[in-house]
């Protein structure tokens, strides 16, 4: 009987404590790190749950990894952003965050205590603690971690090497082939022109001096003279046929009757 009464009493006590704890407002931040590009603005999310008006409470945003100088007994912990007496208190603000942080004061009545940091720098990375010291709760603070990506927006005047996929492909050997063909055409044209000049000179010489036949059977005959002028493109073929004709004619005349 006593054990039964004790069990019931313990159960009721735990239920009351659990219900009371569940009903308390608590500070909740982002469970995941916040990532931002260098130079951009960022919001570190933090709110009170269930909904709770914190307009009249003090809200402290600080960097827990920053400790006061132990060699200076008068040094104190400074804040990233300090809100109290319904306004921002800049007296204890970290100098590098001046004019770069703000709370959404119109949202404080809804329990929104998120912090906005403008123009993020590399020195801003790290852990941030949101703390409401006068909140009647066992969970008065939450930590949010911020990562800053320096490569996302950094620019440089130096030319960066392009990825392999974007490199300009090397030209194929078309230039060599085209150049070789051009050289061959030039050489052929020069040779052909030289041939035409030679044939023209020879034809002119034959035209002036004539072609003397060999004496056959003590009879004198004359070779036929072919005049070749460099006027047409078929000149070479014509001269070749003419020379063939002369040779055939000579042979027929040299043969005995």
Question: Which tens digits make up the pLDDT trace of 184-209?
Answer: 667 667 667 777 787 677 777 666 65
Give domain limits for the chain. Answer: 26-152, 181-254
Q: How far apart are CA 82 and CA 103, in angstroms?
A: 9
Q: Indicate the pLDDT class of residue 183, thresholds 50, 70 and 90.
A: low
User: In this prediction, what percent of the chain has a pLDDT beyond 90?
Assistant: 44
Q: Indicate the pLDDT class of residue 101, thresholds 50, 70 and 90.
A: very high
Query: DSSP 3-state assignment of 10?
Result: helix
Question: Which tens digits make up the pLDDT trace of 149-178?
Answer: 987 544 333 334 434 433 444 444 444 444
pLDDT of 52 strictly over 60: yes
Residue 8: per-residue pLDDT: 47
User: In this prediction, what percent of the chain has a pLDDT beyond 70?
Assistant: 53
For 128, residues 6+ apart whose C-beta sits below 8 A from its C-beta are: 44, 61, 62, 63, 80, 115, 143, 144, 145, 146
Helix axis angle, 174-209 to 235-254, nearest 10°: 40
Q: Indicate the pLDDT class of residue 222, thresholds 50, 70 and 90.
A: very low
Query: DSSP 3-state assignment of 11?
Result: helix
> From the centroid of its chain, how far is CA 83?
43
Closest CA to 59 of 138, 133, 166: 133
Q: How far apart are CA 180 and CA 186, in angstroms?
A: 10
Provide the whole-model pTM: 0.52
pLDDT of 117 strictly over 60: yes
Q: How far apart are CA 38 and CA 147, in angstroms?
A: 10
At the topology level of CATH, where does 26-152 sit? Answer: Immunoglobulin-like (2.60.40)
């Amino acid at each position: 009987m006593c054990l039964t009464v004790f069990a019931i009493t313990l159960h009721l006590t735990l239920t009351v404590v659990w219900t009371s704890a569940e009903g308390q407002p608590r500070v909740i931040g982002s469970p995941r790190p916040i990532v931002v590009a260098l130079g951009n603005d960022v919001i570190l999310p933090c709110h009170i749950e269930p909904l709770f008006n914190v307009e009249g409470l003090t809200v402290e945003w600080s960097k827990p990894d920053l400790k006061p100088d132990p060699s200076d007994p008068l040094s104190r912990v400074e804040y990233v952003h300090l809100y109290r007496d319904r306004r921002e208190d800049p007296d204890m603000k970290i100098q590098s965050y001046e004019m770069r942080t703000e709370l959404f004061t119109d949202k404080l009545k809804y329990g929104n205590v998120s912090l906005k940091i403008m123009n993020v720098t590399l020195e801003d990375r790290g852990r941030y603690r949101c703390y409401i010291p006068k909140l009647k709760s066992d969970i008065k603070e939450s930590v949010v971690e911020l990562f800053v990506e320096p490569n996302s927006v950094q620019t440089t005047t130096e030319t960066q090497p392009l990825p392999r996929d974007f490199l300009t492909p090397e030209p194929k050997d078309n230039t060599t082939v085209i150049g070789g063909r051009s050289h061959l055409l030039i050489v052929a044209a020069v040779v052909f022109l030289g041939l035409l000049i030679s044939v023209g000179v020879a034809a002119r010489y034959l035209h002036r001096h004539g072609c003397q036949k060999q004496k056959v059977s003590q009879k004198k005959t004359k070779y036929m003279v072919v005049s070749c002028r460099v006027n047409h493109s078929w000149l070479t073929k014509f001269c070749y046929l003419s020379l063939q004709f002369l040779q055939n004619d000579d042979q027929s005349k040299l043969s005995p009757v």
